[in-house]
């Protein structure tokens, strides 16, 4: 499945996989982003917790501190309204505090309305595209110089089943995930000769979070894997065992 034939779903990470690595996680306050931030910290990373709700980020900070993992950094940023100067200021902050960036997990996303394209609300469409696509491009652009300062770095984009095959009524969300795959593929090809920054996408699959509950209100959450269950693939792509894997669309389940 991957360049070095590891199945990301079965990956067993060494305890110090991310020791000395600086990793930025967007949407770190809840759901899959929360689990990824806590997991990356548990494997030794200094995690930059980016999100729009400060008290959620502070709770994650406290949990990481209590577990005696490397102290994270909180960045409160609303990716719906943030613009290029905000991302450049973030880059300056990280450069001053940490010097370089080894990992970037694009995880934050919004579901938006699910409705036929014919009825889609234009402003909601633009909002979903802003958070799920445009913000990822702006953040990537600002972070790349910091990633070239690291010896090896990994960018993970978060996809979805509806971003790999179109599905009726999934509207802007599904289209935004197709765009995410396009951004990943384009960037991966641009960077493949550098061998320094690898770029892949990961479809988490059905996972027990608030977004999943909003999309499938009649579903029993207890039947779903938790965000912690799908962390092997997130560790695999973030750590050095995935060096050489580039431009791949992977699945976490
Ligand atoms: N769960 C699934 O079954 C599933 C399946 C396929 C793909 N995915 C993808 O996996 C990723 C994580 O989803 P999830 O299920 O964990 O969703 P979630 O529980 O709704 O969490 C989404 C996270 O994104 C943050 N966020 C939303 N809008 C933001 C903004 N404007 N600025 C900054 N942060 C923002 C949220 O912050 P707040 O908590 O402050 O609102 C939250 O931390 C998403 O990209 C989603 O599309 C999920």
The residues near 126 (Cβ < 8 Å, ≥ 6 apart) are none
Is the pTM above the cut of 0.85?
yes
The residues near 189 (Cβ < 8 Å, ≥ 6 apart) are 247
> Which domains, and CATH codes, for the chain?
16-251 (3.40.50.720)
Could you tell me if 48 and 146 are in contact, meaning their C-beta atoms sit under 8 angstroms apart?
no
CB of 82 shorter than 6 A to ligand 1: no
81 CA to centre of ligand 1 in angstroms: 16
CB of 212 shorter than 6 A to ligand 1: yes
Ligand 1, from 204, 208, 233: best to mutate by most atoms within 8 Å of Cβ? 204
180 has a pLDDT exceeding 80: yes
pLDDT, tens digit (0-9, with 9 covering 90-100), for 71-97: 999 999 999 999 999 999 999 999 999
Alpha carbons within 13 A on the beta-carbon side of 43: 22
pLDDT band at 58 (very low <50, low <70, confident <90, very high): very high
Ligand 1, from 109, 175, 221: best to mutate by most atoms within 8 Å of Cβ? 109
4 has a pLDDT exceeding 80: no
pLDDT, tens digit (0-9, with 9 covering 90-100), for 218-243: 999 999 999 999 999 999 999 999 99
65 CA to centre of ligand 1 in angstroms: 23
Read off φ and ψ for residue 173, nearest 5 degrees. Answer: -60, -50
Catalytic position from the list 173, 216, 234, 236: 173
To the query of whether residue 173 is one of the catalytic residues in this protein, the response is yes
């Amino acid at each position: 499945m991957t360049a070095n034939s590891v199945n990301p779903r079965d990956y067993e990470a060494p305890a110090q996989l991310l020791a000395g690595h600086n990793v930025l996680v967007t949407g770190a306050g809840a759901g899959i982003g929360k689990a990824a931030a806590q997991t990356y910290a548990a494997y030794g990373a200094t995690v930059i917790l980016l999100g729009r709700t400060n008290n959620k980020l502070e709770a994650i900070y406290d949990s990481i501190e209590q577990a005696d993992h490397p102290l994270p950094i909180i960045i409160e940023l609303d990716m719906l309204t943030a613009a290029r100067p905000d991302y450049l200021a973030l880059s300056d902050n990280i450069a001053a505090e940490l010097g370089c960036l080894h990992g970037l997990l694009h995880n934050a996303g919004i579901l938006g309305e699910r409705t036929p394209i014919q009825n889609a609300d234009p402003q909601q469409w633009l909002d979903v595209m802003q958070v799920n696509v445009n913000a990822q491009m702006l953040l990537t652009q600002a972070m790349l110089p910091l990633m070239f300062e690291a010896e090896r770095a990994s960018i993970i984009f978060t996809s979805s089943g509806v971003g790999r095959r179109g599905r009726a009524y999934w509207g802007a969300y599904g289209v935004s995930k197709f765009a995410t795959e396009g951004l990943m593929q384009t960037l991966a090809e641009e960077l493949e000769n550098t061998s320094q920054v690898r770029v892949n996408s990961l479809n988490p699959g059905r996972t027990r979070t608030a977004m999943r509950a909003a999309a499938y209100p009649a579903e029993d959450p207890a039947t779903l894997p938790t965000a912690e269950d799908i962390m092997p693939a997130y560790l695999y792509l973030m750590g050095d065992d995935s060096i050489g894997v580039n431009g791949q669309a992977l699945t976490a389940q």
